[in-house]
Structure formats: C-alpha cells, structure tokens
Structure 1
C-alpha cells in the first residue's frame, strides 16, 4: 500500500504548480511525497494531524518555492511558533508553498478542509484573524497581524489544497494577491488529474516507461523511494530537484520528458538521438559546475566524463551528498544516463555496465 501511495504522489507531483508559474522570481524550493498524516504535518500545522488521520488521508504532495536560495520554504513557522518569535524572525524572502491531499470523496474533502482550517486557526485563536479571498469565497484563510504570511484551505473535488504564502513586507493586499494567484495556478492542473480510488492506486504501474529496470542500480535492492529510486515526468522531477528547473531551457530543447533516479544513477529520455548527444555533452557541466574533463571510458565513444573539483571533496573522498569525485554521461540512442564514483576506474566500470543495460534491453 505504501508503494501505491508513493506512485500516486509521483503522479500528483507532475500536476503541482512550479514556483516560476506563480512568480518568475520563485526559482528555488523543494517538494516531497506525503504518504502518512505524520509526514504531511511536517509541512502543515501539527494540530491538523488528527484531522488527516481520522479522515483517512490517501496521499499527497507538498511543494514550496521562494526567491532566495537559502530560505527554508517548507517549514510552516507561522502555524506553530509564538507570535513574538515570528516577529523577531522577520521574513527575508517571499514564498509560496502548496500542499495537496486526496481523500475518498468530495464530502470528506469538504469536511477535512473545514476542520484543518479550524485546527490551524485554534493554534493562536486570540491572535489569528480571518481573511477573505474575493475570487475564492469558499476558501477559509487567516493570518496573524504583524506576521507577513497567510494560510488558506480549499476543498476542490476529492482534493484539499492548503497554501501558505509570505512576503517581506506585512501588506494584506499583497498577501491576498499572492494567495489568489497560487490558487489560480494550481487548481486548473488538478482539474486535468482525475482523483484516484484506493483500487486505482494499487493498479498504478511502478515503472510506466520501463526506465527503472534499465537504469544501473549500484547500491541496494530496488524499492520505491521518494529521494533515491523513482521515475517522474519533467515537472515531477523539478518538484523533487528544484535546482534542475534552472536548466529547463536545455531539457526543453532536448525534449526531455522522463527522468529516473536509481540509487545514484540518473536517466533521462530525450526527443531523439541527436538531442541525446547534445544533452550528453552538456549535462555534466550542469550537474557539477566545478569540474574539469576526465578520461572517457575506453572503447565506449558515446560517453563524456569529468572530475568533480568541488573543494568540499577532500583526500578521503568524502561524499558531499550531491556528486562524487568522478562522473560520466552515457548516451544510447535517445537516452542519457549519469553515473558517478569516487575513483575513475569505478566510474568507467559503472558507465560500461549502464551501456550494457541499454544495449541488452534494446531501447527504441
């Protein structure tokens, strides 16, 4: 069942609004699959946990975007922190975060939206003030005067949408405008995504385009993981790896439509073979800007390798959590895979193994 929840969340990720669709400056952020009420309340007020549990939340996705790279857009401090702490903190960035949850039916979603809003409001009932959104009269919204953020909840069919927006200046008009723009961007995407029943969720294919089974898995047994083992469309991939959205012009030019991660290996499907060749030659520099050319894999011409010169990598080959010391891009027909290792020989062996997987599976 957890796998079905992850697959449903991945499907939803491809229909979540990107920050740049709301504001061109919202280039940075993060996203995460929500499979339990406990995980969901990492991004919502903790007071809503029982509401989600009692109403049998099926799955969801949380996504946030901001104009400052260092700002933690996913933490909902306005929901649970004291007013004095919030006023001392003062926002240093503008942001918009969206959480979408799915429930069994429309009636449950309507009840959850109301109860979530009430529970959130009650955290600081003496300080919170209700706010109306003129274009979304059924949304319940509130804010704390003196704190430049606004929370709002809206039922939309079987979905419940919670948005949390903030600006640097405490201006109600600007907050209202940003909240309405967030709804206006997100709702049409959900209109194109039919809600799922639990049975529908169990029938979702774990590898719809056969990419996970063709990607080299250098670490552990294959099991779905929302960080290390997944396959997503382009928008969904940006939701989990927002920095890659900054490279959208390259991926769009290559016609990249499917992205896969397999415990260290990344696989991209492009429009055609020529597009894959262009992506192969450029993607290494995008993934690791601090790099220099390294020897390609012997007798494997369709590869490009580089040495990661990031100063955080010391002589003990400490992993930075992003990329290891050597990485290679492997191209086969319209597919490009990226592998990495801390020794050049290991990187070459992984690249050769990935090429063999491509060739033996005869990807068209």
Structure 2
C-alpha cells in the first residue's frame, strides 16, 4: 500500500520479554504463545501521558478532516507532495502558500495551528523546482486563529505582506468570492490567495501549466467551492480548551504497536504518532492501485492511527478488514514478492519489496475483527515479530 504520509523512523526492537494479558476466547488463538520478540502487547494509557504541547497538534489533526484534498477538486493531482500539522508560525510560513515574510503577521495575530496539504500532477522532485516544470500544483493551508475578527485581519495582512514582495504583483478577483485576497505576477504561472471563514483562514498556492490568469482564478474558486462547506461544519475548539483535547479520540492509537513499554511517554506528532479520525483518515487512503483504493472505500474506513512504522485502520466490519489485506497481496507491484508471515497469526500476509539500490522493505498486514494494520521494517524476522505483537495487542485491547 502507498500511504499518503511518510511513516517516520523504523520502530526500535527493545530487549526483554513482552507482557501479554489476554488468554484466548472461544475460537481464537492464545496470543500469549505468539513470538512477539521484545515488543509490548499491552495497550498504552495515552491520556495519562498527556503533554501540554499536544494540544495545538491535536487541534491541527482535527483540522485535517476539514481540509479538502486537492485531488478531490482536480483529478490531475495524482501525487502527494506533503501533508503535515504546522504547529508554529515559522513552520507555517515555510509552507509555499504562506511565505517566510509572513512570520511576524502570524505571530501578531496569534496563530494557534495550521494544517498543510499539497498535491501535484507529477511526482515531487526536490532537485527540480516545480516552477521549472509544467506540473499542476495545489497547496492548501488551513490556519487557526483565536476569533473570526482576528482571522479576517490575518487573511488581509498575509495577502498584503506577500503582495508587497514584488512591485510586479497584481491583484486578482476570484469569481464568486469578493472577500478573497489574491494576486499574481503577469507571465508567472502561479497564484496566491487567502480567504477567511470564521476562525480559519484558507491560504492557497496554485501552479498551472501556463501563465493563464483566468484558469488560475477559476481553479482558486473551485478549491474554495469545495473547501467552504467543510469549514462551515467544522467546530473549532475553544482556545482555552485545546490543552484538554484527547490524544486518542477513537481509541485506535492505544491499539497501535509502539516500541517500548506501554507506559512510555510519547509526544503526539502528526507524522510519527497520532490518530486521524473521521474524514481526516482520508489522508491515508491509498490512491493506487485502483483495486486497493476500492477495497478501502468498500471497507468504510473511518479512523486511522499511525505509530512510527505501524498504521492501523478501523473498517466497517471484520470481513472488510480481512478483504483489504487480501486485495493488498493480490495487487503487489512487480518490485515486491510474498514472504512467509508470522507463525500461527491467522490471515497474516507479508511481502518484501526491492527497488533498485534502495534497501529492501518488508511489510506485513494483519487483521483482528474490524481492525487491520500494516507493520514494516528492513528485516523479515523482526517484521514478523511486529506483526505477531500487533495481532496480540489488538486481541488484548478488546
């Protein structure tokens, strides 16, 4: 499966014996007998390890469900160019939809958090600037501010500061959105725009294959047409309650394999350790092959949790969770081949992928009831232990 987000560093296998609480129920194996290596199979008490710095990131993860995915508006945008929570003004300003000149603006208007997603019509190439290609690009950044009036002022000031960078910039009217602030430089095939909606600001950066201002303006309007209904239904957390947001709102993250003891304190991080609930789970929907995307859709995935090299999905029911794994194995790329899975783990499926000179990656899929999970790593033996431990953890979390 091709996840839409990077999965972070490889899980660390710790020494010692794992603790497994649950004995088998009728018709199930005794997970205490599985070869789980040093991985813990005890569900973590995540709320007991809440950190003050988690709050803004947790609000950013909620906003992940309020952002339109660029390919939902433009089917040509088939490649993910990056997705992340922006938890500081500097990180937000580094997003190309904002510009670093706007750090003082974000600080002055007390930006709380942002969420960023970018997609292009071709694969991202760090060595070649997008502007030097004919790629279609859409980058959407949602920014949260403490109040609607503050958000409106921030949208205006962000646009004004960016506009002032070049004397060649010209203002652009966006069809249907007189309150939007947009500008471009004639002859350049990009456009920037901001639009305030309640306590949120949408900041957009779009590139077109040619410097066609009418096409660029229409594309901005199309994004806002899709984005505004999501913003209208999103309920921002009151600023004085953000620190109280739950780390694991759907109970998925406690079921997700992590290295080390169950009581370790792990900071929430959108890329390494976080829960993506409701519509936010779409950021993990596979886009290819088409059969796997269809299996995801049929399975009704409604929540995802990511823990380093483990990704856990909650499906509509048990059969959907198992069917997704079967589809994954049936649609492996030519660079991958099946390998032996962990002993006595029902329905486990594993594959090794080798691509050119890159190190091999082994990935296993296991399902338990309505949950399905991928684990991965460089060595088959260690990944089989992860798969067995993930299965045992799911059983113990019931």
By the TM > 0.5 criterion, same fold?
A: yes
8 Å Cα contact 1:128-1:143 kept in structure 2: yes
For residue 94 of structure 2, give the secondary structure of its aligned residue in structure 1.
coil
Superposed, 1:116-131 pairs within 5 Å as 116-124=158-166, 126-131=167-172
Which structure is higher in RCO with an 8 Å CA cutoff and minimum separation 6? Answer: 2
Q: Which moved more, 1:291-300 or 1:169-178?
A: 291-300
| CA shift digits 1:6-26 (9 cap, x unpaired) | 111111011111122211111
For 1:289 and 1:14, the matched residues in 2 are separated by: 34
Structure 1 pair 287–100 and aligned structure 2 pair: CA distance change class (3 A) = farther
Cα displacement (A) at 1:343? 2.6
Superposed, 1:1-364 pairs within 5 Å as 1-29=52-80, 30-43=82-95, 44-70=98-124, 89-124=131-166, 126-218=167-259, 222-233=266-277, 235-239=279-283, 247-284=292-329, 290-313=335-358, 318=359, 325-362=361-398
8 Å Cα contact 1:327-1:339 kept in structure 2: yes
For residue 41 of structure 1, give the secondary structure of its aligned residue in structure 2.
helix
RMSD value, Cα: 2.3
| CA shift digits 1:258-312 (9 cap, x unpaired) | 1111111111111111111111222356686621111122122221112223333
- Tell me the TM-score normalized by structure 2: 0.79
8 Å Cα contact 2:281-2:301 kept in structure 1: no
Cα displacement (A) at 1:345? 2.1
Cα displacement (A) at 1:181? 0.6
State how many pairs are aligned: 338
More helix by share: 1
Q: Which runs of 5+ in 2 are unaligned?
A: 1-51
For 2:171 and 2:125, the matched residues in 1 are separated by: 27
Structure 1 pair 71–156 and aligned structure 2 pair: CA distance change class (3 A) = farther
Q: Which runs of 5+ in 1 are unaligned?
A: 78-88, 319-323
For 2:224 and 2:286, the matched residues in 1 are separated by: 20
For 1:221 and 1:282, the matched residues in 2 are separated by: 36
- Tell me the TM-score normalized by structure 1: 0.86
8 Å Cα contact 2:134-2:210 kept in structure 1: no
